[in-house]
Chains A and B, each alone.
Chain A
């Protein structure tokens, strides 16, 4: 395909130069691509492309390192906050962030997440909550809503059988080491803009040494939810947001 030259004065939108030209493995309609874009833009706009080290999880975003052009460590399932802790302690001048899903950060990695937060590590955790295990084929996550059907809750999540979903953002917000906890989404253009501001604020906190920041992004998994992308956005608004309410849960100014 021939390159189309766009004059600078006609340019209304361009992708971040930190987004690599690799074909994304994410399903069309998935929130990951949008959040990746925002993270790349924030890194670029803050001028941190030579000073950022990312930690990718196990789950759909295991290959995050293929898409954003910074140094990356791929952590074992759930261990990203422990891996990031050491990187930041040994490189206090660097921007260190983790990018994790709900299974990674709030099921198998609960201990590593809570203790990195409690210690007040100067890192950012980007937390993609789509209420399902996407990579393994749509099983129940700790965040799966009551009544929600997944591969391991085929009749809907029943609290007697499967327990209740929980909100790790609320748990982290009361910890002294945590400076910023926010819950965002990217299902509308307005929400994408808000989410980007939140990511930037979290990154600024980490560079200023204010402590641990969590940016939860309530996300869609249209393949796992077995819906079209548009229907997923509607379902998210109708079902996810009443339980996972958007907004800042904590924002320490000092």
Chain B
């Protein structure tokens, strides 16, 4: 077996390396803190000279997401990355991508908001990412990495899921994951798909130039006849249901005997894994459930913990309480569900979360 390629890298840098290695065809971006290293790294690596990947700096996030729309319409593996205010500008495009059923990857390295907010880490875009975030009934597939390694791995995973369902997939990271340096095992180089492979695999929809052998393909989200549009809506909803049935990913840490469970994702989950150790040292049976897919949300595993008799759930998030709504829906009133969060780019510490758990749940009983 070939030797593993292990590097020390920033989360943002690794997105660029992973894009190339997973056979991405095109990246279209616009600079914004705290994710600008993604495009900077790509420009330094010059993948157009090696794999043939296209890298282009657009004039805005409005343009970059529409370039993603154009690229994805040709059946190529294309992506963009941004941070919260930039993703807001992309929201029109996300709705069109979902409506036209185009596979692509969007990385959101979240910062604090609303508005221009701050450039420090936040998880304030959970609603935006998971509840559609733009007009019309649609969902993105949302993956939440909690390490630099997952930033790398999820690029490949997101492309695979996006193509499996012909749906845009978002990697919902934050400024902490994007900026921190960690050891990462890089994937071996995956070859880019050839034009012939794409023309064959995506022949029912991709724009490759209409050969004599097929009808023209039209990529659109428009349908003026309500009877037909409703059928399209129902087909999209069936797709989301299939995702909910087949694609839920989560990690359960010490949940088997847990009396209390923290639900946290991304960098919050990373912090809360230390909270679990601290609590266990004090004799508190605490577990951590980390949703890896935020959409589809792991409601059944949470529901099962509640049915098994967990006495309380704490949703620890770097926001004012967003995912807690989904945790409450999953628990369905079987146990108390509380939220603890910091905002404005502030992070919580493991002992701060433990104190909140005691105050909001354990000592309340």
Query: Interface residues, chain A, CB within 8 Å of chain B?
Result: 49-53, 55, 62, 65, 69-76, 79, 82-87, 89-91, 94, 111-112, 115
Report the bound CA distance from A115 to B61 in whole Å: 13
Contact status of A74 and B60, CB under 8 A, knowing A50-B210, A69-B210, A90-B74: no
In the complex formed, the residue of A with least CB distance to B211 is A50
Evaluate contact between A79 and B207: CB separation under 8 angstroms: no
Bound-complex Cα distance A218 to B62 (A): 28
> Which one of B60, B64, B70, B211 contacts A73 once the chains associate, using CB atoms below 8 Å?
B70
- Inter-chain CA distance A73–B208, complex, in Å, is 11
Name 7 A/B residue pairs within 8 A (Cβ), A-sorted. Answer: A51-B209, A65-B220, A71-B216, A73-B220, A76-B92, A85-B63, A91-B209
Contact of A76 among B64, B66, B73, B211 (CB under 8 A): B66
Interface centre among B58, B74, B220 (most CB of A within 10 A): B74
In the complex, how many angstroms separate the beta carbon of B48 from the nearest chain A beta carbon?
A: 10
A115 and B67 alpha carbons, distance in the complex (Å): 12
Query: What is the CA–CA distance of A115 and B59 in the complex, to the nearest angstrom?
Result: 7
Interface code B70-108, partner A: CB below 8 Å = 1, 0 otherwise?
110110101000000000000011001000100000000
Given contacts A82-B66, A82-B67, contact A90 B216 (CB under 8 A): no
**Contacting A79 at CB < 8 Å: which of B63, B74, B210?**
B63
Chain B interface residue count: which class? 35 or more
Chain B 199-223, CB-CB to A under 8 Å as 1, else 0, gives 0000000011111100011111110
Task: Give 12 A-B pairs besides A65-B218, A87-B207 with Cβ atoms closer than 8 angstroms.
Answer: A50-B211, A53-B74, A70-B210, A70-B216, A72-B207, A73-B70, A75-B70, A76-B96, A79-B93, A82-B69, A85-B63, A86-B66
* A189 to B174 CA separation, bound complex (whole angstroms): 60
B219 contact from A74, A89, A112, Cβ within 8 A: A74
A112 and B93 CA atoms in complex are apart in Å by: 14
Of all chain B residues, the one with the shortest Cβ separation from A72 is: B218
- From B222, which residue of chain A is reached at the shortest CB distance? A74
Knowing A65-B220, A85-B70, A87-B73 are in contact, say whether A73-B207 is a contact too (CB < 8 A): yes
Are A49 and B210 in contact (CB-based, < 8 A)? yes
Contact of A75 among B60, B64, B66 (CB under 8 A): B66
CB distance from A99 to the nearest CB of B (A): 13
Instruction: Verify if B28 is at the interface (C-beta below 8 Å from A).
Output: yes
- Distance in angstroms between the alpha carbons of A33 and B247 in the assembled complex: 47
- Separation of A10 and B56 alpha carbons in the complex (Å): 53
Residue of chain A at shortest CB distance from B210:
A71
Would you call B71 and A86 a contact (CB within 8 A)?
A: yes
Contact status A82-B73, CB under 8 Å: no
Q: Is the CB of B68 within 8 A of A62?
A: no
B69→A75 contact, CB < 8 A: yes
- In the complex the two chains form, is B70's CB within 8 Å of A87's CB? yes
B54 proximal to A (CB < 8 A) = yes
